[in-house]
Amino acid sequence: MARVLMRSLNKKYDEVPAVIDVNLEIHDREFVVLVGPSGCGKTTTLRMVAGLESITSGNISIDEKIINDLPPMDRDIAMVFQNYALYPHMSVYDNMAFGLKMRKFDTPEITRRVQEAAEILGIQELLKRKPRQLSGGQRQRVALGRAIVRHPQVFLFDEPLSNLDAKLRVQMRVELKKLHERLGTTAIYVTHDQVEAMTLGDRVVVMRDGRVQQVGDPMELYTNPANRFVAGFLGSPAMNFAGVRIVAQNGGLWAEREGIRIAVPKPIVPRLGAYAGKEVTFGVRPEDMRIAGAGDPQDLSFDAAVEVVERLGSEILLDVAVGSATMVAAVEPTVTAKVHEKLRLAVNPERLHFFDNATEAAI
């Protein structure tokens, strides 16, 4: 049972807070991704779990045992670093065997485990080489192998794919996922890349400025972001935001701004009621907008002027001006739109988001 628990975790560097009041429960066999912009505290949190940073206050426990004061070597964890951290003076075999030697495993057992890991990762022919003779992808595999042989309770990953080129990154992402399916070890993965977060995590933890913004499975975070930051962070191209005023009219609510007048969908009305007459932020994702057709209701669409047309092949991104706001709409590749053309865009009423201007929380 390798459940990782973080309770009221805080970290300060000389009075400057880096991690603030983090409470997380990571279930056994779960792959959890900590994601956020640089400086958000995700790496610091990971390093506290590893024992490389001291804990200012709060507790971390692995497998129901508090590990706050344990040195890294006694925590039964393994870590994969961004620049692999392979021991340059040792062969691949010795790199992988190092941890086992430190823990006084006997030689036959070491050989067995290293061979096993090498097979899983496909690096058997590389065992005698030195790190400087390996490519980036191979080094990453060795770093993984070094972590696997120890059969630890928890894997820690510190942006392991950042140093790889784009193509290799995609490949390794898939392999990591397969590896996790196969080994099933609890894993904490830190990245700034939201694509990695969405694709790899069983659950995703979005962090910002030292605090946890939201925890949940990727789709949950995507469709129901808890605040404006999470909404804007996940998804590419990012969600469109516009400041609107809520107006009560004809027994219903409207979201209005220059060029836009949208009827607030019935399910959301109760929540927005308190905001009548006030300003809120309206959010809609590019893929939840489309060119208005004959059957689309008038009160769920608005006029837009095309400024840029970006053809990606699988879809077309239209950068449009709506009044004084600019938005991006992702539409079918069959759409023919030209610059300066005026269109009418319709939005999906089930995919509208509103955020409180003061707290940034989702309404």
Partner 1 sequence: MATAAEVAAPRLQYVGSPPRGPITRLLEDERWLATCLMLPTVILLGMFIAHPFINGILLSVTDTKVGVPGHFVGLDNFVKIWHDDIFQVAVWNTCLYTFVTTVFKLALGLWLALLLNRHFRGKAFMRAFILLPFIIPTVLSTFAWKWMFDPTFSVLNWMLFHVGIIKTRINWLGDPTLAMASVIIVNVWRGVPFYAISLLAGLQTISPELHEAAAIDGAHAWARFRHITWPLLLPVTLVIVLFSVIQTFADFQLVYVLTGGGPANATQLFATYAYQLGIGTGLLSQGAAISLAIFPILLLVVIVQLVYIRKAETA
Partner 2 sequence: MIEGASWRRWVFFYVPVTGFVVALLFPFYWMVITTIRPDKELYRPWNAANYTPFWTTNPTLEHIRALLTETLFSTWMLNTMFISLSATAISLFCGLLAGYALSRLKFPFAGSIGTGIFITYLVPQTLLFIPLSDIIRNFKLGDSPWALILTYPTFLIPFCTWLLMGYFKSIPKELEECARIDGATRWKAMIYIIFPVAIPGILSAGIFAFTLSWNEFIYALVFLSSPEQKTVPVGVTSELVRGDVFFWGELMAGALLGSIPVAFVYSFFVEYYVSGITGSVKG
- Of residues 12, 89, 101, 103, which one binds partner 1 by CB under 8 A? 103
CA distance 293 to 306: 17
Using CB under 8 A, which residues numbered 232 to 271 contact partner 1?
Answer: none
CA distance 192 to 36: 5
Q: How far is the CB of 74 from partner 2 (least distance, A)?
A: 8
CA distance 221 to 215: 8
Contact 205, 194 (CB under 8 A): no
13's tokens: 């560097």
Q: Reduced to 3 states, what is the DSSP secondary structure of residue 285? A: coil
Interacting residues with partner 2 (CB under 8 A):
50-52, 71-73, 75, 77-79, 81-83, 85, 87-89, 98-99, 102-103, 146, 150
- The neighbouring-strand residues paired with 250 are none
- The neighbouring-strand residues paired with 328 are 319
Closest CA to 61 of 147, 2, 141: 2
Q: How far is the CB of 148 from partner 2 (least distance, A)?
A: 12
Q: How far is the CB of 31 from partner 1 (least distance, A)?
A: 20
| Per rule CB under 8 A, count of chain residues that contact partner 1 | 21
63 counts as binding partner 1 under rule CB under 8 A:
yes
Which of partner 1, partner 2, none does residue 25 bind (CB under 5 to 8 Å by kind)? Answer: partner 1
- Of residues 14, 71, 250, 334, which one binds partner 1 by CB under 8 A? 71
Closest to partner 1 by CB, 67 vs 86, is: 67
CA distance 77 to 327: 45
Q: Of 63-71, 227-235, 308-316, 349-357, which part binds partner 1 (CB under 8 A)?
A: 63-71
Alpha helices in the chain (DSSP H): 42-50, 92-102, 107-121, 136-148, 166-183, 194-200, 218-223, 228-233, 269-272
Closest to partner 2 by CB, 90 vs 120, is: 90
- Calculate the alpha carbon distances from 129 to 91, 135, 137, 305 in Å: 5, 11, 14, 60
125 counts as binding partner 1 under rule CB under 8 A:
no
Which of partner 1, partner 2, none does residue 109 bind (CB under 5 to 8 Å by kind)? Answer: none
Contacts of 85 (CB under 8 A, 6+ apart): 143
110 counts as binding partner 1 under rule CB under 8 A:
no
Query: DSSP assignment, residue 296?
Result: S
Residue 101: burial class (beta carbons within 10 Å; 0-12, 13-18, 19+) = exposed
Q: Of 54-62, 167-175, 197-205, 297-305, which part binds partner 1 (CB under 8 A)?
A: 54-62
Place of tokens 């096993």: 116
Indicate the residue type of 262: I
Q: How far is the CB of 154 from partner 1 (least distance, A)?
A: 10
Closest to partner 1 by CB, 62 vs 179, is: 62
Q: How far is the CB of 199 from partner 2 (least distance, A)?
A: 25
Contact 75, 66 (CB under 8 A): no
- The neighbouring-strand residues paired with 331 are 316
73 counts as binding partner 1 under rule CB under 8 A:
yes
Contact 113, 120 (CB under 8 A): no
Q: How far is the CB of 79 from partner 2 (least distance, A)?
A: 5
54's tokens: 């001291």
Closest CA to 235 of 244, 248, 225, 226: 225
CA distance 254 to 260: 10
Which of partner 2, partner 1, none does residue 285 bind (CB under 5 to 8 Å by kind)? Answer: none
Q: How far is the CB of 12 from partner 1 (least distance, A)?
A: 18
57 counts as binding partner 1 under rule CB under 8 A:
no
Which of partner 2, partner 1, none does residue 70 bind (CB under 5 to 8 Å by kind)? Answer: partner 1
Closest to partner 1 by CB, 67 vs 190, is: 67
25 counts as binding partner 1 under rule CB under 8 A:
yes
101 counts as binding partner 1 under rule CB under 8 A:
no
Give the interface with partner 1 as residue ranges (CB under 8 A): 5, 7, 25, 59, 61-67, 69-71, 73-76, 103, 152-153
